[in-house]
Structure 1
Amino acid sequence: MDWKQIIDKYYTDNDELKDILIRHSRAVAEKALSIAEKHPELNLDTTFIEEASMLHDIGIIKTDAPDIKCYGTEPYIRHGVLGAEMLRTEGFPRHARVCERHTGAGLSFNEIVSRNLPLPHMDLLPETLEEQVICYADKFFSKTRLDTEKTIEQAEKSVAKHGEEGLKRFCKWKEMFE
């Protein structure tokens, strides 16, 4: 099964949301792939980057975010862990890690506990270079302005809203990937 078949399996009756998911994910994939191309010394797995970028937000269908056509019941912040469950069920554990670790600039155990987030009490931080590149690329695209890439300054401002830890990770990635 490829990423298209997985999306088709879960997004059968909400074409608007499917379009948002695919357009957002394609923008993330293209940015992540351009980073890989710009940095051959990182020896990134570009096939995986494309697949995982296209699937990183698959869990949004289970969340309650009507402004982006999500009519599920879960809090939006859980879309990553929900997507990870979906992809593990489909036999894609490596892709599942990207789902659960891309929220914000990743979330540490301390951030989850101190902010009382409805997430598992564990580090949900991107670890592999591929996970980090996808997480970084994702910060440049929203699901409400699908055709607009944020500037680095706009992405930093957005990440900073959620705390200093995430901003530090984002700035480290900026040095690595730009």
Structure 2
Amino acid sequence: MAALGHAQKVRQGALYDAGMTRKLPNQQAIDELHHHFAPSEAAYRMVHTHCQIVADITLELAEASGATWRNDDFDLDLALVGAWLHDIGTYQVFEHDGADGKPLKFNRKRYILHGVLGYRLLLQEGLDEEIAQFARNHTGVGLYRQDVIDEGLPLPVADYVPLNDEQELVMYADKFNSKSVPSSFIAESRQNKRAAKFGDANYERWRKLVAKYGLPDISQLAERYSQPIRH
């Protein structure tokens, strides 16, 4: 119950000035960013709800009893802000954005760009680099420059991988919910298959994440958000 209480405080805007060097945006500022970039109410509901769920999973895994990976420097509030904003770039990769009443549909060829687009948007809005990096570095279970080359991806050749535990946890939490139509939760067994499609090295990276962070209780979240679980 303590975790849910903290999550509720976050939703109510209890994120705080984190010190002399930078500020974390509060919930109102985060919601305003989503509304500003969302091309329609339907797009806002899809993406915002997904980010909400990823924040819930991030919080659950970060506060889980026996979480031996957490260190004294881990910044939970930074991770939650990153979860709320990591997918801000997806508003720019819709093929049908819902503005005309048609069902939402992403442009598959452009979708891979959403992390870089989100990174640029957040920097343009004046957010710190450490926050913008959550958008840039959450694709898959880590996208390396050689992956970009080998797969011929339309991205600048570079590593797109988490730089700290906060980014890594959000990237991992993101794998348990899909912005499909309709949106759904992703069971471990299904994500195992997804990760294996991209080769043994990718699958091993995924399994190391599972071993490090454990598994969230997506059954409770699926009930709370009225979304199915895909196995």
Q: Compute the TM-score of the two structures, normalised by the length of structure 2.
A: 0.70
- Alignment match, 1:57: 87
- Alignment match, 2:70: 42
TM-superposed CA distance for 1:73, in Å, is 10
- Alignment match, 1:122: 158
Instruction: Write out aligned runs for 1:50-129 (5 A).
Output: 50-66=80-96, 69=104, 75-92=110-127, 93-129=129-165
Q: Which has the higher contact order (CA 8 A, sep 6+)?
A: 1
**Contact 1:56 1:102 (C-alpha < 8 Å) held by counterparts:** yes
Q: Deviations over 1:14-47 (max 9, x none)?
A: 1001000011111111111111001275143221
Q: Deviations over 1:111-143 (max 9, x none)?
A: 001111011101111120011101111111101
State the identity as a percent: 28
- CA distance change for structure 1 residues 19 and 112 in 2, over 3 Å: closer, same or farther? same
**Contact 2:69 2:212 (C-alpha < 8 Å) held by counterparts:** no
**Contact 2:69 2:213 (C-alpha < 8 Å) held by counterparts:** no
Q: Deviations over 1:48-68 (max 9, x none)?
A: 121111111110111144387
Higher share in helix: 1
Q: Distance in 1 between matches of 2:89 and 2:110?
A: 11
- CA distance change for structure 1 residues 73 and 168 in 2, over 3 Å: closer, same or farther? closer
**Contact 1:65 1:76 (C-alpha < 8 Å) held by counterparts:** no
- Alignment match, 1:27: 53
- CA distance change for structure 1 residues 17 and 115 in 2, over 3 Å: closer, same or farther? same
- CA distance change for structure 1 residues 71 and 41 in 2, over 3 Å: closer, same or farther? closer
CA radius of gyration, larger in: 2
Q: Compute the TM-score of the two structures, normalised by the length of structure 1.
A: 0.89
Q: Distance in 1 between matches of 2:116 and 2:198?
A: 18
- CA distance change for structure 1 residues 89 and 62 in 2, over 3 Å: closer, same or farther? same
Deviates more, 1:157-166 or 1:96-105: 157-166
Q: In structure 1, give the amino acid aligned to 2:70.
A: L
- Alignment match, 2:7: none
Q: Deviations over 1:136-169 (max 9, x none)?
A: 11111101243x4222111121222233333222
Q: In structure 2, give the amino acid aligned to 1:25.
A: C
Q: Which segments of 5 or more consecutive residues in structure 2 lack a partner in the other structure?
A: 1-24, 98-102, 215-231
Paired residue for 1:8, among 12, 35, 44? 35
Instruction: Write out aligned runs for 1:129-148 (5 A).
Output: 129-144=165-180, 145-146=182-183, 148=184
